[in-house]
Structure 1
Amino acid sequence: MTNKIKSIMWVLFLPTFLYSSDFRVGVTKVNITPNTSQNLIGYGPRDSKGVLDSIYHRIVVLEDGIDRFALVSSDLAAISPATYQNAAKRIKSLYDVNEQDLWWTNTHTHSAPEVGSAGVIPYFLGERYEHEYDRAYTKFVEDMLVKGIGLAIEKLELAKLGVGWGYSRANINRRARGIDDKTFLGENPDGPIDRKIGLIRFENEIGKPIVLISNYPIHGTVLSISDLRISGDVPGVVSNYVEEKIGAPLLFINGAEGNIAPRFSISINNSGNKEKFLNQFKRLLGDKILEANENIISTTENVKFRTRQIVIETPLKNGLDANAWPEDMDSYLRINSAGEGIIRMPINFLMINKDLAIWSAPLELFCEISNEIRAHSPFPYTFYYGIANGTLGYLPTEAEFKLGGYEPGVSPFSVKAGDHLIKEVSNVLEEEDRIRD
């Protein structure tokens, strides 16, 4: 491979500038619980039996009278980038929301139905996708997303912004180590972790909450593979709990959860009350979100924000066949003159006023990478919104690649991709710092 191909490349899209003295926000919550049995993803193939709690699209739209930005949190494990693109085209045509201004995130519950094509996962776990996905349910989820965007636009109202931090011990590193230094899925109390809650509050003119947006990294894996009920798992249960307390929707946006599990989960052989394991997260995480909300003591109606997108190009992992890349994801891979695959990874940015920078990626990112970017960011509040606009899979650090285990084994990326990501995202944040007012 030439030095040119080894190097990272990115394509810069011009920012979209938005400013308004009558900043408006609209929010809606749309039920996407299926009424038929569905294949659940996140573990091995299995069909759902019953519903523990309903699953939803939660949608917030920001508008300044000229442009719109839409953020979606769905109680799904993941979608492919191709599924995102299908929905984005419809939403652009109906509501004039540009693709880089539509962020469709997934909470990563492992007790939700499969939606759309499998994306890159069959590269490594083909046995999970020997069946045809349910096209009727996929269309229903997409239709409800499109409908939900319209409903949120109809509810737009003047709003004020508040932002703050919280902290919760509801998660734990899941890269367990044996005495032989082999890595396996388990609990590692000494492993890297991110326990910060990044919180955004939008409220109306009289201070009543319109919506909370909570950012926290955690796998939705409290319920085990043996529980076949549909559920939002931790993100869903926590969202419902907070909503009951504040009287407004909560969008749970997962963070860099690639190597982070819930602090407690249910073993396959546990025969006790499974709901009690989920419900404890109402206190462990839900109450911490509520506390962080109470600690936001100031808001502003003067909101200035802009979006930006870069595309990072980084090599496909050695040994993977670029020609086996899924056809419906052609725009996320190119093959160079040497026949080597180069992954094209879109990274989106949302800068709000002088203090808040949010970046998102279609990744299950290891928390060390997000922590590094945040630690050196010039913005006081820097949030990472993960599993956004589809997923390209796990992105571990170089050190964790060398330790092996599940996540590196099913990642399509080279060992240097994490360093590339840190460099290029940090460069953008530094540039945005120089141009902010």
Structure 2
Amino acid sequence: MLFFQPLLNRVPIRKLFLLIAVSLLLPTISPAFDTKAGGFRAAVVKVDITPEGHQMLLGYGARRSTGVYDKIYHRIVVMDDGKTQFVMVSSDICVMSPTEYDKVAARLSKELGIAPVNFWWTLTHTHSAPEVGPPGLPELFMGERYRHKFDSDYTEVVERKLIEAVREARNKLAPARLGVGWGLSNANINRRGKGVDGKAFLGMDPDGAVDRRIGLIRLEKADGSPLALLGNYPIHGTVMGGENLLISGDAPGVVAEYVEQQVGAPMLFINGAAGNLAPIYSVYPSPQAGKLHQFKVLLGDKVIAANKNLKATTDQVTLKSGGITVETPRKEGLGWLPYLSDYTRTTKAGVNLVRLPVRFLHINDDIAIWSAPLELFCEISNEVRDRSPYPYTFYYGYTNGWLGYLLTEAEIPHGGYEVTVSPFSPSAGKDLTDAVVNHLQGKK
């Protein structure tokens, strides 16, 4: 009673009892105000983008589809930590111009208020999917493939379905949990074959550099049931070659569909540094000849195993996005396309530079994801991962456009196809690696 004595001297007894009653109630009602509006939420949407008619396919020489082997999709995940809302889109498309990404990013910003830094659009790199938007840099290297106009109607369908799906996913946001882990698959192989003269060609090099890690992020509903998987693995979508005229997601699409059937939730297949990595069965004339179904076992079952081995998830999630622009000299004598002017500049000394937009997503203190509009050689992403202070460092390739192959300096003297479709000078690999590692080490 000594504690209340000063109050008794100043406060009428009825008011005192009221104060005591309210104080006793506060612990009971305070959790309602200790809001988890900042708690982690997520949602996923999968939408069919298979065209109704025949389309020009992208990935080999100019050719028109004659039918559909399997459907192609947008798969969209939206994550929200209460401060940052992040949109991840994986589409069964080969490559696209950065200007196509810029166009859709501008629409998302205007219509939904999503900042471009929080919108990543990554492509699975299947070579059996339709063109979307203008060709971009490939027009500079392989103009003979692009003498036709791209289908603006189909492009508009792809854009509209993406934006509608993002809107739907935002409306479906619900409490969620996140986990991360690694897996391993031997479904890929270095494709830079070399002859006795040291010259490279598109073949197989079992002794060449490779990256066979699966980087897996799992999203769960609040009750622990599966919501979505984000599976990151580097592999060309080239099980089927240029003779194939059927629309297909190729190995990435088949693997994603299979995993979804087994797990019961959508899987975003996110390609990695696949610039010099092919599927172990590559460029066959048909799905049957290329044993496309076997990738369900070679890669799909490995994703499922990684998911089973991922034991811990959390609802305490913080998202931090950002980006840098890496400038590196352009290959000598190479021209440029006017509508890609935002991706180059010339110094006062007359040096032409390529301007590479690199994005980052940091999840809590242990996950760092970086992306670039590149067909990157795996040695570069391997080195970044080895030097990163984050235990889980993933590279998301073919993201927000395509600005060509980026090789290591050691591989350039061997020549080969990739050198002919690269706009970069030999220093680009080091320039990119140093910039990304410096960012990651500085953030940590």
TM-score by length of 2: 0.90
Paired residue secondary structure (1:303):
coil
Is residue 414 of structure 2 the alignment partner of residue 418 of structure 1?
no
TM-superposition CA deviations, 1:253-290 (whole Å, max 9, x none): 0000000000112534x7x934x711000000000000
Higher mean C-alpha deviation, range 327-336 or range 362-371: 327-336
Is residue 367 of structure 2 the alignment partner of residue 356 of structure 1?
yes
Structure 2 match to 1:385: 396
- Cα distance in 2 between the residues matched to 1:282 and 1:354: 33
Give the CA deviation at 1:305: 1.8
Is residue 288 of structure 2 the alignment partner of residue 273 of structure 1?
yes
Work out whether residues 20 and 303 of structure 1, in 8 Å CA contact, stay in contact via their aligned partners in 2. no
- Cα distance in 2 between the residues matched to 1:311 and 1:162: 30
Superposition pairs for residues 92-103 of structure 1, below 5 Å? 92-103=109-120
Superposition pairs for residues 228-377 of structure 1, below 5 Å? 228-268=245-285, 273-274=288-289, 277-321=291-335, 325-377=336-388
- Cα distance in 2 between the residues matched to 1:26 and 1:328: 35
Work out whether residues 81 and 317 of structure 2, in 8 Å CA contact, stay in contact via their aligned partners in 1. no
TM-superposition CA deviations, 1:21-63 (whole Å, max 9, x none): 5200011001100011111011000000100000000000011
- Cα distance in 2 between the residues matched to 1:306 and 1:395: 27
Give the CA deviation at 1:89: 0.5
Of residues 79, 86, 94 in structure 2, which corresponds to 1:62?
79
- Cα distance in 1 between the residues matched to 2:325 and 2:151: 31
Is residue 14 of structure 2 the alignment partner of residue 26 of structure 1?
no
Paired residue secondary structure (2:268):
strand
Structure 2 match to 1:37: 54
- Cα distance in 2 between the residues matched to 1:70 and 1:399: 36
- Cα distance in 2 between the residues matched to 1:207 and 1:288: 21
TM-superposition CA deviations, 1:375-416 (whole Å, max 9, x none): 111100000000000010100000111111000111001110
- Cα distance in 2 between the residues matched to 1:423 and 1:384: 15
TM-superposition CA deviations, 1:141-165 (whole Å, max 9, x none): 1111111111111211100110000
Identity %: 54
TM-superposition CA deviations, 1:307-356 (whole Å, max 9, x none): 110001111101112xxx22222111112234432111010000011110
In terms of Rg, which structure is larger? 2
Give the CA deviation at 1:20: 6.8
TM-superposition CA deviations, 1:80-129 (whole Å, max 9, x none): 10000000011111221110110000000000001111111122111011
- Cα distance in 2 between the residues matched to 1:34 and 1:338: 48
Superposition pairs for residues 210-225 of structure 1, below 5 Å? 210-225=227-242
- Cα distance in 2 between the residues matched to 1:174 and 1:281: 17
Superposition pairs for residues 136-215 of structure 1, below 5 Å? 136-215=153-232
- Cα distance in 2 between the residues matched to 1:242 and 1:195: 18
Give the CA deviation at 1:66: 3.9
Work out whether residues 394 and 410 of structure 1, in 8 Å CA contact, stay in contact via their aligned partners in 2. yes
Is residue 140 of structure 2 the alignment partner of residue 130 of structure 1?
no
- Cα distance in 1 between the residues matched to 2:417 and 2:40: 45
Paired residue secondary structure (2:410):
helix
Give the CA deviation at 1:235: 0.5
Structure 1 match to 2:124: 107
The letter of the residue matching 1:146 is: I
Superposition pairs for residues 69-84 of structure 1, below 5 Å? 69-84=86-101
Work out whether residues 326 and 357 of structure 2, in 8 Å CA contact, stay in contact via their aligned partners in 1. yes
Q: May I ask how many residue pairs the two structures share in their alignment?
A: 409
Paired residue secondary structure (2:39):
coil
- Cα distance in 2 between the residues matched to 1:273 and 1:351: 41
Work out whether residues 21 and 301 of structure 1, in 8 Å CA contact, stay in contact via their aligned partners in 2. no
- Cα distance in 1 between the residues matched to 2:149 and 2:86: 33
Paired residue secondary structure (1:76):
coil
- Cα distance in 1 between the residues matched to 2:381 and 2:254: 25
Work out whether residues 317 and 363 of structure 2, in 8 Å CA contact, stay in contact via their aligned partners in 1. yes
- Cα distance in 1 between the residues matched to 2:125 and 2:82: 33
Work out whether residues 68 and 96 of structure 1, in 8 Å CA contact, stay in contact via their aligned partners in 2. no
- Cα distance in 2 between the residues matched to 1:103 and 1:292: 24
- Cα distance in 2 between the residues matched to 1:376 and 1:273: 41
Work out whether residues 167 and 288 of structure 1, in 8 Å CA contact, stay in contact via their aligned partners in 2. yes
* Larger RCO, structure (CA 8 Å, separation 6 or more): 1
Work out whether residues 359 and 372 of structure 2, in 8 Å CA contact, stay in contact via their aligned partners in 1. yes
- Cα distance in 1 between the residues matched to 2:126 and 2:429: 24
- Cα distance in 1 between the residues matched to 2:223 and 2:406: 43
The letter of the residue matching 1:354 is: D
Change over 3 Å in CA distance of 1:78–1:429 after alignment to 2: same
Is residue 425 of structure 2 the alignment partner of residue 408 of structure 1?
no
- Cα distance in 1 between the residues matched to 2:350 and 2:90: 37
Structure 2 match to 1:15: none
- Cα distance in 1 between the residues matched to 2:41 and 2:112: 16
Structure 2's unaligned 5+ residue stretches are 1-35
The letter of the residue matching 1:80 is: S
Structure 1's unaligned 5+ residue stretches are 1-18
Give the CA deviation at 1:234: 0.4
Give the CA deviation at 1:65: 3.6
